[in-house]
Amino acid sequence: MNLLRITDRKKYLYMKVIRAKSAGFCWGVERAIKVAREESDSGSKTVFTDGPLIHNRQMMDALSQEDIREVGDYQSSRELNLEKSEDKESVVVVRAHGISPQRREYLKGLGLPFRDGTCPDVGIIAGKVKLHAEKGYNVIIFGDPKHPEVIGLVGYANGKAYVVSEDEDVMRLPNLGPKVALVSQSTMFTHEFKRLGSILAEKYPDMVVFDTICGATKERQSDLVELVRDGAEAIVVIGGKHSANTRKLAKLAASHDLPTFHIETERDLESEDFSEFSAVGVTAGASTPEFIIRSVCEKLKEF
C-alpha cells in the first residue's frame, strides 16, 4: 500500500502539461484589438464597441483600462445611449464578429467617428452572402442563429437567408428552387459542415458550396486532436463561456472520451480534478489572451 501511494504521489508531482500549437488569439482578434487600441491612443479617446469587441471577459476588462468600453448587448441589437465626454473625443468601433449593414448604418448615424474591427474572414463571408443574394440565390448559413456573426451575415442576404445548425433545420427548409448557396459561420466544425452539406446537396443538387470556416478554427481543431495523439489524458480548454469557437473545442475534446474542463482563468482550476492524470493538454479559443494561457499552464505545473 505504501508503495502504491508513493507511485501515485510521483505521478501527481510530475504531471506533464502539453500546450496546443495554435492556442490563443487568431489574427482577426489581434486586428480588432489593434484597431480599438489605435483609436484609444492609450486612453486619450473613448472607444465604444457595439457589444463585446471579442468574446473574452478578462480581455475586455483589460481593455477598459484604456477607456475601451463595451456598450449595447451581445447580439448588437439594442439602441445605444453613449455617455460622451466633453473633455475627450469618442469613436465607435465595430466588433470582430461583424454586424449587419442595417446596424452599420445605425452606428454611423450616431455622429461619431467610425472604425471597423470586423475580422476580414467574416467580411469575406458577408461578401459572398451579399453577392449571391443579389444574383437571386437563396443563401443557407450553417451556424448558430443567435450568434452575432450569423445575425450580421443574415443582414446581407436581403431576406433570402436561412440558418441551419442541425439535420432537423434542413428538413424544415422550404423548396428554395435551383439557385441555392451554402456558407458557414467561421467557427463551426469542418466535419459537421461537410455532413450537413451532403444532406443539403440531396435536396438542392445544384447548390453552390463555400467552405467559409476560417483557417484559425480548422487549425485549432486539428491541433486539439494532436494533443490526444500526444498522450493527453484530460483537456483544459480556456476561453469565454460565450465564445463559439471555445465551446466547439470543448465539445471536440469531450468527443474523444477525455475529461474536459472549459475554464475562463486559472482560478477555475482545482488540483483534485487532476490528481489522476500524468499528462494534461491545454488549448484555448481564438479570443483568449496569452497572459491567461500562461497563467493556466503555470498553475497546472504547480499541481
> What are the structural domains of the chain?
11-25+216-302 (3.40.1010.20), 28-117 (3.40.50.11270), 121-209 (3.40.1010.20)
pLDDT digits (tens, 9 = 90+) for 125-137: 999 999 999 999 9
Rounded CA-CA distance 220/242 in Å is: 17
From the list 39, 70, 149, 264, the catalytic residue is 149
Beta-bridge partners for 235: 260, 281
pLDDT tier, 241 (very low <50, low <70, confident <90, very high otherwise): confident
Lowest mean pLDDT across 3-17, 165-179, 234-248: 3-17
- The b/e string for 267-292 (b: 16+ C-beta within 10 A; e otherwise) is eebeeeebeebeebbbbbbbbbbeeb
pLDDT tier, 2 (very low <50, low <70, confident <90, very high otherwise): very low
In this prediction, residues 297-302 reach a mean pLDDT of 95
Rounded CA-CA distance 96/84 in Å is: 23
Pick the residue with more confidence: 83 or 289?
Answer: 289
Going by C-alpha positions, the residue among 36, 24, 58 that lies closest to residue 216 is 24
For the chain, the straight-line distance linking the first and the last C-alpha, in angstroms and rounded, comes to 23
In this prediction, residues 39-62 reach a mean pLDDT of 94
pLDDT digits (tens, 9 = 90+) for 181-204: 999 999 999 999 999 999 999 999
Q: What percent of the chain has pLDDT over 90?
A: 88
pLDDT tier, 227 (very low <50, low <70, confident <90, very high otherwise): very high
pLDDT tier, 242 (very low <50, low <70, confident <90, very high otherwise): confident
- The pLDDT assigned to 14 comes to 72
pTM given for the model: 0.89
Rounded CA-CA distance 6/9 in Å is: 5
Rounded CA-CA distance 49/67 in Å is: 11
Q: What count of other Cβ atoms lies within 10 Å of the Cβ of residue 84? A: 13
- The pLDDT assigned to 13 comes to 57
149 has catalytic annotation: yes
Q: CA separation (Å) from 287 to 39, 127, 178, 217?
A: 20, 23, 38, 11
- The pLDDT assigned to 108 comes to 95
